[in-house]
Structure 1
Amino acid sequence: MPDTGSTTGGQSLLFLTDEQLRQGIEAMFFAYRGFTADPDRILADKSYGRAHHRALHFIHRSPGTTVNNLLGILGVTKQSLNRVLRTLVADGLVESRVGRRDKRERHLHLTDDGRALEQELSDAQRSRMRTAYRAAGPDAVAGFRQVLEAMMDRDLRRRYDALTEEGGQDG
């Protein structure tokens, strides 16, 4: 368990002020804008948005995932996800295959073009993350991950843990 009473830069982490919390919230907001800026530019050229990126990312992470599983991960409405998937399928980036055991299920896979776009989007984000992680150092990276995981509610944490247990396809 981390030592929440330790100090960093003279600030106690056990008793954070509202101002320190506000600074953290604002830092997260601007970091997220930076993290999504490069993919947003790539997506805009193709008339796609962040929902398309998220779908591509998680289909890549779990090839053959079902539409229902993707709904649970993304936390969007079925109508919203269907709109995104229809576009990705029509544009030849995602294949929707009928389930072998349950014909009602649709299993999602990236096509070669889908994998190429996902790679381009992820490369941009990995580059930004790599630069930030190197600048911050290993202790900060571990602490950052702990903070992110501690912010997840129980259900989201289970989904995240399931993805990290599956391993991944490092690019």
Structure 2
Amino acid sequence: MAQGASAVAQKGGESLLFLTDEQLRKGIEAMFFAYRGFTADPDRILEEHGYGRAHHRAIHFIHRAPGTTVNNLLSILGVTKQSLNRVLRALVEDGLVEARVGHRDKRERHLYLTESGAALEQQLSDAQRERMRAAYRAAGPVAVAGFRQVLEAMMDPEIRRHFDRLTESGR
């Protein structure tokens, strides 16, 4: 165990190998409240445009993988086709996303952010990066590494494959 993590475990008197239900409950509640904080700034920005979190997730992953197909986005987001179509229709109509017909398969639709879409994505991501940067600095490098390990360990295998592909792409 790294020196910083060891000090945290000793300071709290808690063994990291055995967690009580109360310790787990506190972690679950911390995750809920952290997510609430993590989404608060983007939610305010999205509300100004009449969008919600589903729009944010679509914009985020289209930005991360320009040219991704609708089917790939469906797989990443884990939503119904009907739900995604509603979100994409609004983003296309509002000029934030462009859907291009596939070169090899004309039935495929490849998704790209427009200039306006990229600007909105930048605004949303800047707000979240600012919050993450402050939290990471406050927690320190050992905690950051541990936090990422915990998050990755919580991912289902299919979701982990999507995550790995995105992180390997280097974008």
TM-score, length basis structure 1: 0.94
- 1:66 maps to 69
SS in 2 for 1:24: helix
Equivalent residue number for residue 28 of structure 2: 25
Counterpart amino acid of residue 53 in structure 1: H
Deviation of 1:167 (Å): 1.2
For 1:53, the equivalent position in structure 2 comes to: 56
* Match in the other structure for 1:143: 146
User: Which structure has greater helix proportion?
Assistant: 2
Q: In structure 1, what residue type is equivalent to 2:88?
A: L
Aligned partners of 2:134 and 2:98: how far apart in 1?
A: 34
Higher relative contact order (CA 8 A, sep 6+): 2
Question: Percent same amino acid among aligned pairs?
Answer: 81
Aligned to 2:18: 15
Structure 2 residue runs without a partner (length 5+): none
| Paired residue type of 1:13 | L
TM-score, normalised to structure 2, is 0.94
| 4+ residue segments displaced more than 3 Å | none
Q: How does 1:1-171 map to 2 (within 5 A)?
A: 8=9, 9-168=12-171
Structure 1: which 5+ residue stretches go unaligned? none
Shift of 1:153: 1.1
CA displacement, residues 110-169 of structure 1 (integer Å, 9 cap, x when unaligned): 00000000000000000000000000000000000000000001111111101111111x
Aligned CA RMSD, in angstroms, stands at 1.3
Q: Determine the C-alpha separation between the residues in 2 that align with 1:166 and 1:69.
A: 15
Residue aligned with 2:34, SS = helix
CA distance in 1 between partners of 2:70 and 2:126 (Å): 25
